[in-house]
């Protein structure tokens, strides 16, 4: 895992270019403290901060050169061992044991299509000396970040916002559409947009080609999820296939020349990963890291974590709970590394979790992101399930499902009626319309009249309402933000975070499952529970509550160590309806928690605009 930076700019001098490149690299030194390298073939400048994970030798440092191509690369291609053997049959020779060299050999053999053979996470730029192009690619789910600025024959790229702030093309002009997506929906990224108008993100599963001599830039997709095509295997065959794919994913995610550990929350996902690691390596001493909170209404998952440890005694647990002083002290640093005005307080918990991991000198950690999005882990899935029953004229099943959800969640009669009403809404509205309604109505709308009415587009994909919901969770509405936090928080402490649930082979298989195999009645992630039965501790396999990465931030922290965030106005945000914001914050100060999540978003946005723009 690393930080990349570079540019092509014929208007800059060699001396100024090297100075600028070093400044860009220095901005993200935390991403790669083990080595720094640069390469210049004017007007091309490539830079790299290395976190050494695979092949720790200096020969594997970057920029890396192979025949007539050079690369700066951030990520891991986990199947590099198998690809290396395949490439040897074509006559390729290798001087290192790194996956970096395999990427370049693959590019020579298959061109841009090489990435379709990769299993992993990546963002990279290949400089093709012969073709005079910069070829960039980002992994299928956008696990690793890639940002760029382009104007004419000038092209700058980097791993984080802060990398590009040194560029002469960078501007502090705020992208109001992204601000409003953050405030109203909690999204911190969308397609190629960022919080700054001129700063672009390369979307997940896309290539970028920049022609150095002409300045032409093109961005093209190379992969998309196929939906609405269901497998005809029996459920038992599907269970076995899921177990096979998950086992393979965890196995190759353990490939490393440094120690690997795990995050462990006590929930289904992280527990599944730790349990599988122990099944594969039963005698392996394995470190697991957890954050918890104690107090009225707080979430303490240690009882479930102990279920994993009791079943797998080789697991060594590490716990941490941040104090009030630590939360206040580290908030600025956490937001600095995040690069965005974070839309929920859980990112601070994750920040302290990664800090704990870094303090134990762990370089690689496995985490559980992704399965909620494609295995129906969120309660909002139930609206779409009932809607699909209604669309099929199965009214009894729709009512029965809603009643089951009501019993599971202890909903009152009026709450069940509201739940069913939302299901009816899902019958007559696609995801674009549903999120449009949420954008305008879930929270008080905070933008003044200059804002775009609906600054996003969620396409309709093949399949039922549930398929459409899960597809957009993966690529637009939920996962992109979670992966942003995952990358920034881990790399803030020079830790590589790997996400085994996002092996694309596993995800593609999951999208071929029918709804009832993912959400069976009110039991989420049904196939995973059944596939890992006997591997997962029984108490976790049968666990029905879903806590998420819950923190007390939106209420307790804003009234405690972070109350200073509410003490200043919105003088830097002319696009915010200031009287409405002041009124909502005033009600919160008086004890009204109805819009606590929105108050958090307003407060962190204000802090971001004042301190990082």
Find all residues with CB under 8 Å of 159, minimum gap 6, and list them: 2, 3, 4, 5, 28, 31, 74, 123, 144, 145, 146, 147
| DSSP three-state, residue 235 | helix
263 is catalytic: no
Task: Output the CA–CA distances (angstroms, integers) from residue 188 to 195, 480, 599, in the order listed.
Answer: 8, 8, 16
Q: Per the structure block, which two tokens stand in for 82?
A: 């198998």
| Active-site position among 2, 114, 263, 451 | 2
Alpha carbons 403 and 399: distance in angstroms, whole number: 6
Rounded to 10 degrees, what is the CA torsion of 418, 419, 424, 430? 120
Alpha carbons 138 and 205: distance in angstroms, whole number: 6
CB 214 within 8 A of CB 152: no
Alpha carbons 602 and 30: distance in angstroms, whole number: 28
Beta strands 69-77 and 64-66 are antiparallel
Alpha carbons 75 and 120: distance in angstroms, whole number: 8
**What is the side-by-side order of every strand in the sheet holding 133-138?**
64-66, 69-77, 120-128, 133-138, 206-211, 217-221
Closest CA to 401 of 511, 518, 519, 512: 519
Task: Output the CA–CA distances (angstroms, integers) from residue 575 to 178, 185, 443, in the order listed.
Answer: 12, 17, 16
HSE, CB side, 13 Å, CA atoms: give it for residue 194.
26
Task: Measure the CA angle with vertex 156, ends 154 and 157; round to 5°.
Answer: 155
Alpha carbons 392 and 385: distance in angstroms, whole number: 11
- Which residues are known to be catalytic? 2
């Amino acid at each position: 895992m690393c930080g990349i930076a570079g540019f092509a700019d014929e208007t800059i001098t060699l001396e100024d270019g090297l100075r600028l490149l070093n400044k860009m690299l220095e901005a993200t030194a935390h991403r790669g403290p083990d080595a720094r390298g640069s390469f210049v073939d004017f007007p091309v400048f490539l830079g790299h901060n290395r976190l050494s994970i695979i092949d720790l030798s200096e020969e594997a440092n970057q920029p890396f050169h192979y025949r007539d191509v050079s690369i700066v690369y951030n990520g891991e291609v986990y199947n590099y061992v198998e690809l290396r053997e395949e490439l040897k049959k074509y006559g390729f020779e290798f001087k290192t044991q790194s996956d970096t060299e395999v990427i370049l050999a693959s590019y020579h053999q298959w061109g841009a299509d090489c990435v379709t053979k990769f299993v992993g996470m990546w963002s990279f730029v290949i400089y093709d000396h012969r073709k005079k192009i910069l070829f960039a690619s980002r992994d299928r789910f956008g696990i690793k970040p890639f940002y760029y600025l382009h104007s004419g024959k000038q092209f700058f790229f980097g791993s984080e916002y802060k990398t590009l702030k040194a560029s002469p093309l960078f501007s502090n002009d705020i992208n109001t559409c992204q601000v409003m997506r953050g405030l109203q929906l909690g999204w911190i990224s969308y397609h190629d947009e960022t919080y700054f108008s001129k700063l672009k993100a390369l979307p997940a599963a896309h290539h970028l080609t920049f022609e150095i001599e002409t300045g032409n830039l093109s961005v093209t997709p190379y992969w998309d999820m196929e939906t609405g095509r269901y497998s005809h295997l029996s459920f038992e065959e599907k269970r076995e296939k899921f177990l096979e794919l998950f086992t393979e994913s965890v196995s190759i995610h353990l490939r490393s020349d440094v120690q690997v550990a795990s995050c462990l929350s006590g929930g289904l996902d992280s527990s599944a990963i730790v349990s599988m690691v122990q099944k594969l390596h039963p005698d392996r001493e394995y470190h697991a890291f957890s954050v918890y909170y104690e107090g009225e209404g707080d979430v303490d998952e240690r009882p479930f974590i102990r279920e994993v440890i009791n079943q797998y005694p080789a697991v060594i647990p590490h716990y941490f709970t941040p104090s009030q002083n630590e939360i206040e002290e580290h908030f600025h640093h956490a937001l600095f590394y995040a690069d965005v005005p974070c839309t929920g307080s859980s990112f601070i918990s994750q920040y302290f979790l990664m800090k704990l991991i870094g303090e134990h000198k762990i370089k690689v950690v496995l985490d559980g992101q992704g399965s909620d999005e494609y295995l129906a882990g969120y309660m909002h899935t139930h609206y779409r399930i009932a809607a699909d029953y209604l669309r099929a004229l199965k009214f009894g099943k729709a009512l029965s499902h809603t009643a089951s959800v009501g019993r599971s969640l202890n909903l009152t009669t009026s709450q069940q009626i509201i739940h069913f009403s939302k299901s009816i809404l899902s019958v007559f509205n696609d995801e674009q319309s549903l999120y449009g309604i949420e954008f305008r109505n879930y929270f008080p709308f905070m933008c003044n009249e200059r804002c775009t009415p609906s600054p996003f587009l969620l396409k309709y994909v093949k399949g039922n309402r549930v398929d459409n919901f899960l597809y957009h969770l993966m690529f637009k509405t939920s996962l992109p933000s979670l992966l942003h936090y995952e990358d920034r928080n881990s790399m803030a402490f020079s830790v590589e975070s790997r996400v085994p649930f996002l092996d694309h082979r596993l995800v593609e298989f999951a999208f071929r499952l029918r709804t009832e195999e993912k959400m069976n009645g009110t039991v989420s992630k049904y196939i995973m529970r059944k596939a890992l039965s006997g591997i997962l501790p029984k108490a976790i396999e049968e666990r029905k509550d879903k806590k998420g990465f819950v923190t007390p931030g939106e209420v307790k922290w804003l009234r405690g160590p972070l109350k200073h965030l509410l003490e200043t106005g919105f003088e830097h945000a002319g696009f915010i309806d200031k009287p409405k914001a002041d009124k909502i914050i005033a009600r919160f100060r008086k004890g009204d928690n109805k819009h606590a999540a929105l108050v958090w978003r307003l407060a962190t946005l204000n802090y971001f605009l004042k301190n990082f723009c």
